[in-house]
Amino acid sequence: MAKKQYALRLDPKLYDALEKWSADEFRSVNSHIEFLLREAVYHAGRLKIEDSAEGAHNSDSPNKK
């Protein structure tokens, strides 16, 4: 399934923090935002492991099968 495209407006300071954090994790900013959102949605109980989209490749992700 193709990923949904969505325009996201962020505070410049937040974007700078995300940019540095994603570089530290060797991810693109987009991939890191998706990772963080996936983790938050999972921990909120709104995403089941089997509902997880491809792309959750991090070994510490709860979505890893």
What's the rounded Cα separation, in Å, for the pair 16 and 40? Answer: 20
> Is the whole model's pTM more than 0.85, yes or no?
no
What are the tens digits of pLDDT across the range 4-48? 999 999 999 999 999 999 999 999 999 999 999 999 999 999 988
What's the rounded Cα separation, in Å, for the pair 32 and 9? Answer: 15
What's the rounded Cα separation, in Å, for the pair 33 and 20? Answer: 12
More confident residue, 65 or 62: 62
47, 3, 13, 22: CA torsion to nearest 10: 80
Q: What are phi and psi of 24, to 5 degrees?
A: -65, -30
